[in-house]
Amino acid sequence: MDENKEEKDHQDFIPKPEDVVSSIDDSALQDTNNLQFKNRLDLTELQNSVEKIKQEVGKVIVGQKDMVDMLIASLLAKGHSLIEGVPGVAKTITAKLLAKSLSVGFSRIQFTPDLMPSDILGTSVFNLKDSEFEFKKGPIFSNMILIDEINRAPAKTQAALFEVMEEQQITIDGNKFRLDSPFMVLATQNPIEQEGTYRLPEAQLDRFLFKIDVDYPNLDEEIEILSREHQLRDIEKTETVSSFLTAKQIAEYQNLVTQILVEEHLLKYIAELIVATRSNQFLYLGASPRASIAILKSSKAFAAMSGRDFVTPEDIKRAAIPVLHHRVIVTPEREMEGVSSKQIIKQIIETVEIPR
């Protein structure tokens, strides 16, 4: 009988679930439910703007998501992009649409074999009224520069872009002229046609953050392209795209990207990838420190576009191929065997250990 009483007393001592719940402070419960991990940086506005750009470009362009992503990342990282693909795969129109979605200055320069450096940069003209030379700015003085068929102009015209792409300034007659921000060069070239073209030198290629290879659309995308073209009729394609992003907003987003966190072990990972290109037996020329900086900047841009204020190894791997494959040179023996720089870089990425 005493044992039964003791068991009953023990059961009375055990609190019921509803008593436990009622004993917890309501404010504490509310705080627990609202507990969320927040980014160190507020990237919501940046993400929304990126999606808006994609929507505007997507009104005309079917597919080519990788190209659009890399162009936006290039803009956020303050870089330039070289778009390579056969004629008719929307290289030029995509660059024009990206520029149209931004409320900034835009210039299109068609490179031709007879184009001179002064046709791009500008020239000094004698003013009879003032009896002085006056500098007339060329089309390079804008925010978004589209250079169509960059490999059609001779070397001296291509070389005119060296200073402006690296330092965002030009020097004419001993005078320096600074270009306004944002400043971005988008260049296109055809890899197939060789008649009347001039191959870009390595120093020129190194100025581009990304080299974007554009491929053919698949069957479904091809059908969608035809359907949209049929529905447009006489409407100009670029008229469907609206401008919404100002130069001030772009500058703010670019500043946010520079504040993205990169851990020390990820910096080492980038360095190991670059050093591996210099010791690879299949590469005649490895990547320079400019390439490692380019991977750092572009991986930050990819992280910001994903809504993260920190870089992951996946961001670095995503940036590695478009950053590196135009900066390295395959040995002649491997090139004759059909081995591409992309294949070698993929092998390097697979062999270098990913930090955990």
Residues 6 or more apart in contact with residue 300 via CB below 8 angstroms? 77, 257, 258, 260, 262, 311, 315
DSSP bridge partners of 102:
245
Helix (H, G, I), strand (E, B) or coil at 126: strand
| pLDDT lower than 50: segments of the chain | 1, 3, 5-11, 13-15, 17-36
pLDDT score at 254: 92
pLDDT tens profile 18-32 = 444 444 444 444 443
pLDDT score at 234: 65
> The pTM is what?
0.81
Distance (Å, rounded) from C-alpha 62 to C-alpha 54?
11
Domains located in the chain, CATH noted = 39-259 (3.40.50.300), 260-356 (1.10.8.80)
pLDDT score at 311: 92
Q: Which amino acid is at 5?
A: K
pLDDT tens profile 300-335 = 999 999 888 899 999 999 999 999 989 998 888 888
**C-beta of residue 205 within 8 angstroms of C-beta of residue 82:** yes
Residues 6 or more apart in contact with residue 307 via CB below 8 angstroms? 39, 43, 44, 47
